[in-house]
Amino acid sequence: MNTGLSVVGNGGAGPPVAHQAPAVVPGRYVLLSLASLVTGYTVKAMERKIERGDWVENKVWRRAPDGRILIDLVGYQKWVEGV
């Protein structure tokens, strides 16, 4: 069973010490590929929601200055909750 902990020796000065693996926390705005991992929706499914207007621009998604689509995880959560 993977607990997210790794056991590291401490140079023989006693029992091994458990260290927790660092957590990765995404920012508020994430690219579709990371949003897919977070939400469980495929990239194509999210693109369809955007194209159909199910997800409103500047509420659930927005365009980055370079034109790429970013998902607002706060907006996504509100959409899920029906707010």
Are 69 and 63 a contacting pair, CB within 8 Å? yes
How is the chain split into domains, by residue range?
25-81
Please provide the DSSP assignment of 20-47 as one string: EPPP----SEEEHHHHHHHH---HHHHH
The proportion of the chain whose per-residue pLDDT surpasses 90, expressed as a percent, equals: 67
Strand-pair partners of 17 = 8
pLDDT in tens, 8-23: 555 666 677 777 877 7
pLDDT surpassing 60 at residue 4: no
- pLDDT value at position 9? 59
pTM score: 0.71
- The rounded distance, in Å, linking the Cα atoms of 7 and 23 is 17
pLDDT of amino acid 69 = 98
- State the first-to-last Cα distance of the chain, in angstroms, to the nearest integer: 38
Encoded amino acid at 76, one letter: Y
